[in-house]
Structure formats: C-alpha cells, structure tokens
Amino acid sequence: MDRIRILGGVPLEGSIPISGAKNAALPLMIASLLTDETLTLDNVPRLADVQKLFHILANHGVDTSFQGKRSGQDLLAGQTVAMTANNIVDTTAPYDLVSTMRASFWVIGPLVARMGEARVSLPGGCAIGTRPVDFFIDGLKALGAEIDIDRGYVVANARAGLIGNRVRFPRVSVGATHTILMAATLARGETVIENAAREPEIVDLAECLIAMGAKIEGHGTSTILVEGVPRLRGARHQVLPDRIETGTYALAAAMAGGDVTLEGASAAHLERPLELMQHAGAEISVTNRGIRVRRNGHGIYAVDAETAPYPGFPTDLQAQFMALMTAGKGTSHVTETIFENRFMHVQELVRLGANISLNGQTATIEGVKALKGAPVMATDLRASVSLVIAGLAAEGETEVSRIYHLDRGFERLEQKLSRCGAQIERVSA
C-alpha cells in the first residue's frame, strides 16, 4: 500500500495550479442523467472519486469520452469529458458501487425525475458522521415520489412524473440541495427550495442546469425557485476551481512558510478562511493569476475557528486549519458544528507532538515550538491532508499511510507540492 514520505522544514516557493472542484464535478456529472443529449464538462479533476462515479454512471448507461488527450498534455490541467445518457439502461444503483462513495446516492434525483423510478442503495463514504438521507427522501416525497426502503435500498417511484412543490430542509444540506434541485428541473410546475445550501458548488450546478435549459432563480441564496421544463438539452460547462484544495494549499504555505501563488483560485469563495489565515500571520493577496500566500519569519498566531455552512468556515478545512494552529503562539479553539465525528485526525497530530485536548465538539490547541516527524495514519479525506500539512513543518521525516483517502480528493498532491520545493514523495510498500 502506498505511503507519502515528507522531510519537513522546507519553505514552499512557487506556484500551484488549482484543480476543478471535486464537490462541483460530482453533481455536474450526475446531471448528465437528466438529458439524452451530450453534457461536456471542462476542468474535471483526475481523482479516485471521479473515476468511481464514471463507473457508477456507466452502470446506468452513460457513455463517457475523454477529449483532448494527447502526448505531452499537462497532467496538472483539468480534463474535458463528454457524457451522454441517451439510453438509461438501469435505474438501480447497487450497494457495491454506492457504498464506496456517498455522493453517488444523488443519482436518485435525476433518475426518478427522468425515468419515473429509481432504486438506490443507502450510501457509504467517509466515516465522519451519520449524515442521514432523510432530507433527500422527504424532499422527493414532497415532489410526489413514493418512497419505500427495501433491504438497504431506497426505492422511489413517480410514474406520472414529479410535481413541483415547496421543499424546506430542517437543516442546511449540500447533498440534499443538489439532489432536489436536479429533480425539480423536470418536475411539472414550480418548486421552492427553502433553507437551501448556498455553496459555490450549488451555484455551479445551477448555472450548468440553466445552460441545459432549466429555469432556476435564487441559486446562491437560501431560497431557490425552479420552474420545471419538459426536457433538458446538452450543454458545455467548466467546473469551477476547488476552494477546498485552494484553502488546503494556502494553509500549507502558511504552515511551512514561503511564498506560493495558487493559480486560478477564487478568493471570493474563501473569504472567511482567508480572513482567519491573515489573523494567524499569513499575508494574502489577490493577483490576476489567483491568490498569493506568504508568511515571513514572525511565526503563527493562535486564532479560533468554528465551522458553519457557506459562507462560514467550511468543515472541509477544519482539520487543515487545526494543523496550522498546532504551531500557533498561544491557545486556539476549533469547534466543529457540521459533523459529529470529524476529529479523528487529532490523535495523529498528537503523534507529531501537537498538544490538543477535546471537549465535545471543540478542540483546544496549545501551540508548540516544533512538531516532530513520525509515522501517522490517514483516517479520512480531509484528515489525511492535515497530516501532510503538519509534516511539511515538522522536524525530520513524517510518513503518512492509508493515502488512498488523499487520492479521493486531491489531484497529484505530491507533484504540486514538490514543484514548490517540498521534500515529499510517494513510496510503495
């Protein structure tokens, strides 16, 4: 099994191209199920989760082709993918596929909207919380679908088609917003989605659906209006840059020190994290190339952070920010409000010499003068990259195992960091 080995203490200098957002690419790919015409996506990242979803969609009958592949192509640039669901051959998403990635459950919305039926396994994914599918089910019921749970499968039927209605989520849910938004595009009449997620990835999906002929207003706010249409057409859409990858490399530069430009990054999607990084001592500036992150020799200062739905501090950057705070001067607190089991990285950071204590959903971090390299183990996607960030600044060698978690969400991480001078490599067992 592959591992990542890091020799810490080397400042980062150079530029890192930001990939297309995984959290946008996945729902965009699923949207291909809504039309019998071709949906072409540019800037699709090369990730394990993306490859899994290609396989899942192929099971439904989606034909996929990769465009522009040629000798000498920059592998750090996004790929162009054409997806055509001309003939959906199967409306079942089986357990052995869905259990490997939670986002694959979202196919239930487009399938029942277009085909009038879907049978989708209850989802799997990272073990960072229960994340029930109640909001998905209740939303589809509100649109007229009949729902049964049969031996671990959610079975949805709407033979006469979905009907627009008011859907209000008790709590903000990105996945449920994606799913109901897609389903509502083909429902008869108007759907009002209240307490909708406001993430940039929601906006990106809505813009793609509009290009496909959907009638959507209010995306990016907590209330989205959808006027259903009889059918959607093909379109071409570019996946937005990954704000979580951007924030991760910004935190890595703040941790290791140096001067890094994050090419193609959008500062507008990271206002709260960048603000906290500045309070912690990083210099952040927006350029015509992206975002520049610098840290001089004054060190890192302790700053408190609390996760919240967008535009608040994202839960997907919580572990990485905690890694930075292990080197902060003073005491900081990181509070997790989204998922109840997202502190699994704490004990691994402690192995590197961090001083962290937990009280419920709040971690108290006492900054230390230096972390010490050690063998550590990744426990989930975002936790795994927090160990890489810590390892970049730790004295000596850090080895991160179980890095298949990393490959789910970070495209060619070691190549991107090594081109900025990091002493990092992937090694095989």
Between the alpha carbon of residue 70 and those of residues 67, 80, 287, 344, the distances in Å are 9, 12, 31, 41
- Side chain identity at residue 33, one-letter code: L
Token reading at 407: 């490959």
Closest CA to 26 of 193, 174, 196: 174
Contact 77, 44 (CB under 8 A): no
Backbone angles phi, psi at 359, to 5 degrees: -140, 95
Contacts of 266 (CB under 8 A, 6+ apart): 200, 240, 241, 243, 246
User: Per the omega criterion (within 30 degrees of 0), is the bond before 45 cis?
Assistant: no
Contacts of 406 (CB under 8 A, 6+ apart): 4, 378, 381, 384, 385, 388, 400, 413
Q: How far apart are CA 274 and CA 272, in angstroms?
A: 6
420 is catalytic: no
Among residues 126, 145, 374, 378, the one annotated as catalytic is: 126
Q: How far apart are CA 174 and CA 172, in angstroms?
A: 7
Paired strand residues for 119 = 92, 155
Sign of the C-alpha dihedral computed for residues 46, 48, 51 and 57 taken in this order: negative
Token reading at 98: 């869905």
Q: How far apart are CA 123 and CA 406, in angstroms?
A: 20
Continuous segment of H or E residues that includes residue 417:
helix 413-418
Binding residues: 22-23, 102, 316, 338
Q: How far apart are CA 262 and CA 264, in angstroms?
A: 6
- Residue 393, classified by CB atoms within 10 Å of its CB into exposed (0-12), middle (13-18) or buried (19+), is buried
**Chain position carrying tokens 């020190």:** 257
Binding residues for UDP-N-acetyl-alpha-D-glucosamine: 102, 316, 338
Instruction: List the catalytic residues.
Output: 126
